[in-house]
């Protein structure tokens, strides 16, 4: 590095920001369940120290030093450095808030979702934006003072060549020791250290097992002794779906099919007070109610995928890449059903327009309105128009997807039945000590509003005398959490406890007596149930689904659930998380990490099911 004053100033400013990053990154330690052994702590400090200053140095090399080489004035360099550093620190703070609630780091997928469908997926109040703006200003002021301090340090000649050399040696030792310990842990699968590593943002530690295996320097099978577990999720795999040609019995009349999906509707929100119309519907004829029903995921993408394909979410990437629609929709279109798709949220993010509904003619991909409740109402009104134009001599299929619960939204003058009520959702206030009651009451109010829309749908079917020949499926795509496990999880996408994946399922099935079911069922079971009882398929479910028919107890001992970044095996008393690296973590049903191994009893069956539809 040059020893001119500008270079010294840049170096000093970089070091001060490295200290800030180090302190901010240490905060993630509160989510590291395994920071309890000497070696783990010995790894944590140099890992965070080495990573924080590495990030700071990279920013300086990419942005700060080039400015000095271009002979930009020191004043302008200072302005750019303050601005860039402020943005970086703000992103780290935002990442921490996101991670605190969802245990997900900011990444390209999150930013892409925010840019392309921000209002559909993320809902921020004006107050949240205001707080973010205030924090941004505070950070800018802090960076301004760090700039002044850097100048004072340079003028005082505190950063000598010797001091710089000592610091770089200390940093290099910390960086190398952290990476060495992680590389060692990666080879022999020391889960405590691997668990620490995945919590840190912008951290990509050294892994050498692929190199050692390639040159036959180690035998992983002997060293690891089955300490890793990874689902097969090959985006480039060729699919073998369905396994055999589908055959159907002849039938005279076809039943209509109506899917009604409520975004974020969790299992305990089907009550007389919250959802009175759906609750009343349960008392009618031919109603099947499933009390222990689970979605296939903790987010919309995998939840809807598993519902329509009857496959585990591990197949999502392959189906999305090959743009193969589900056999259910193929058969619906082949039979010349009148198809109407009415989703409040956009069907392009996630790309359901290129997967589930790819072959639907004149596909309606979005709803009109500025708010979720306005879009929900628009979807309902368009559905009513669709119903009024039906050819009564042909069956119809419709899908309605309401988003207001996800957005905690209601129309302006809608009564707020549940009190106390949180008038303004401020995500920055959510923490482990926050009282969830007003927030939860707002959620219940939104569910109550969406229930009124479902009531309108059911009334249309009743008034047109269609229920006797219409299958109606009412469910949620995933649940919603309000820190019930006291781990600071809010919303969904953070874990696989019942609050995020257990949802209601009610099916009106003409010809079948009303009944409640208390065994485990899954979204993957819905397609086989429709294929067998409505479309009268001859093939067994194994030819096209991971699920079983809902009407027969499958004696299920485990379920696979997926999210955006990992997958899980849900059993009666444990939840095993599988990460892309092959590392895994066993938790109890309240997200407490257990010091135990994966249950190998079902592992072979699980791996077979999650790879069966690949060639």
CB 80 within 8 A of CB 63: yes
C-alpha distances (whole Å) from 338 to each of 366, 378, 379 are: 19, 20, 17
Q: Are strands 338-343 and 490-491 parallel, antiparallel or unpaired?
A: unpaired
Domains of the chain: 5-224 (no CATH), 256-555 (3.40.720.10)
- For residue 1, the model assigns a pLDDT of 42
Tokens at 344, concatenated:
């409040």
Cβ–Cβ < 8 Å for 471, 509: yes
- Rg (the chain; Cα; Å): 27
**147-167 confidence digits (pLDDT tens):** 999 999 988 888 788 888 999
CB within 8 Å of 217: residues ≥ 6 apart: 211
Q: Which residues of the chain fall below pLDDT 50?
A: 1-2, 223, 225-226
pLDDT at 241: 96
Fill in the DSSP letter of residue 315.
G
**Nearest Cα residue to 609 out of 239, 227, 315:** 315
Is there a contact between 514 and 473 (Cβ–Cβ < 8 Å)?
no
H/E run at residue 476: strand 470-476
Cis peptide before 242 (omega within 30 of 0): yes
The four Cα atoms 247, 294, 228, 489 give a dihedral, to 10 degrees, of 150
269 class by beta-carbon count within 10 Å (0-12 exposed, 13-18 middle, 19+ buried): buried
Beta carbons of 548 and 525 less than 8 angstroms apart: yes
Q: What is the pLDDT of residues 292-326, one digit of tens each?
A: 999 999 999 999 999 999 999 999 988 988 889 99
pLDDT of res. 433: 92
Give the CB-side neighbour count of residue 383, counting CA atoms within 13 A: 30
Supply the pLDDT for residue 521. Answer: 98
SS3 of 181-222: HHHHHHHHCCHHHHHHHHHCCCCCCCCCHHHHHHCCCCCHHH
How far apart, in whole angstroms, are the C-alpha atoms of residue 70 and residue 57?
19
């Amino acid at each position: 590095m040059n020893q001119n004053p500008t270079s010294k100033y840049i170096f000093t400013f970089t070091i001060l920001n490295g200290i800030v990053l180090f302190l901010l990154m240490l905060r993630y330690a509160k989510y590291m369940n395994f920071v309890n052994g000497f070696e783990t702590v010995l790894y944590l400090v140099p890992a965070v120290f080495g990573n924080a200053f590495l990030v700071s140095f990279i920013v300086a090399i990419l942005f700060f030093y080039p400015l000095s080489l271009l002979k930009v004035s020191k004043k302008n360099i200072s302005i750019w450095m303050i601005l860039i550093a402020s943005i970086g620190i703000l992103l780290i703070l935002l990442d921490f808030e996101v991670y605190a609630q969802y245990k997900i780091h900011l990444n390209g997928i999150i930013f892409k979702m925010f840019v392309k469908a921000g209002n559909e997926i993320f809902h921020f109040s004006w107050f949240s934006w205001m707080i973010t703006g205030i924090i941004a200003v505070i950070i800018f002021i802090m960076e301004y003072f760090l700039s002044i301090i850097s100048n004072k340090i340079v003028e005082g000649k505190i950063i000598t060549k010797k001091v710089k050399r000592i610091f770089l040696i200390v940093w290099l030792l910390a960086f190398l020791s952290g990476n060495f310990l992680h590389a060692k842990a990666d080879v022999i699968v020391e889960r405590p250290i691997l668990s620490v590593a995945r919590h840190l943002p912008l951290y990509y530690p050294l892994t050498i097992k692929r190199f050692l295996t390639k040159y036959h320097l180690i035998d992983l099978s002997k060293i690891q002794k089955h300490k890793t577990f990874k689902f097969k999720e090959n985006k480039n795999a060729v699919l073998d779906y369905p396994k055999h040609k589908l055959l159907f019995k002849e039938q005279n009349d076809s039943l209509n099919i109506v899917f009604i999906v409520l975004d974020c509707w969790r299992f305990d929100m089907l009550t007389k007070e919250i959802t009175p119309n759906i609750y009343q519907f349960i008392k009618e004829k031919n109603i099947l109610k499933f009390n222990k029903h689970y979605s296939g995921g903790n987010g919309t993408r995998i939840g809807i995928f598993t519902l329509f394909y009857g496959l585990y979410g591990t197949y999502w990437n392959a189906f999305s890449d090959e743009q193969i629609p589900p056999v259910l929709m193929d058969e619906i279109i082949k039979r010349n059903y009148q198809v109407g798709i009415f989703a409040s949220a956009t069907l392009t993010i996630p790309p359901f327009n290129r997967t589930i509904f790819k072959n639907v003619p004149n596909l309606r991909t979005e709803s009109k309105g500025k708010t979720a409740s306005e879009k929900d109402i628009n979807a309902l009104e368009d559905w009513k128009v669709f119903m009024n134009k039906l050819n009564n001599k042909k069956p119809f299929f419709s899908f309605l997807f309401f988003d207001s619960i996800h957005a905690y939204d209601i129309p302006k003058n809608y009564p707020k039945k549940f009190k106390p009520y949180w008038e303004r959702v401020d995500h920055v206030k959510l923490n482990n000590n926050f009282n969830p009651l007003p927030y939860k009451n707002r959620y219940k109010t939104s569910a109550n509003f969406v229930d009124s829309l479902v009531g309108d749908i059911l009334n249309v079917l009743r008034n047109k005398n269609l229920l006797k020949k219409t299958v109606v499926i009412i469910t949620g795509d995933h649940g919603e959490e309000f820190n019930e496990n006291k781990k600071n999880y809010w919303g969904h996408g953070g874990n696989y406890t019942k609050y995020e994946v257990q949802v209601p399922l009610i099916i009106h099935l003409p010809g079948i007596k009303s009944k409640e079911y208390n065994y485990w069922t899954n979204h993957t079971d819905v397609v086989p149930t429709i294929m067998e009882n409505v479309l009268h398929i001859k093939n067994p479910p194994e030819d096209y689904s991971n699920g079983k028919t809902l009407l027969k107890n499958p004696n299920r001992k485990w379920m696979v659930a997926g999210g955006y970044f990992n997958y899980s095996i849900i059993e009666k008393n444990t939840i095993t998380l599988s990460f892309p690296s092959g590392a895994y973590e066993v938790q109890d049903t309240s997200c407490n990490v257990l010091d135990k191994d994966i249950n190998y009893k079902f592992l072979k069956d699980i791996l077979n099911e999650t790879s069966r539809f690949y060639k």
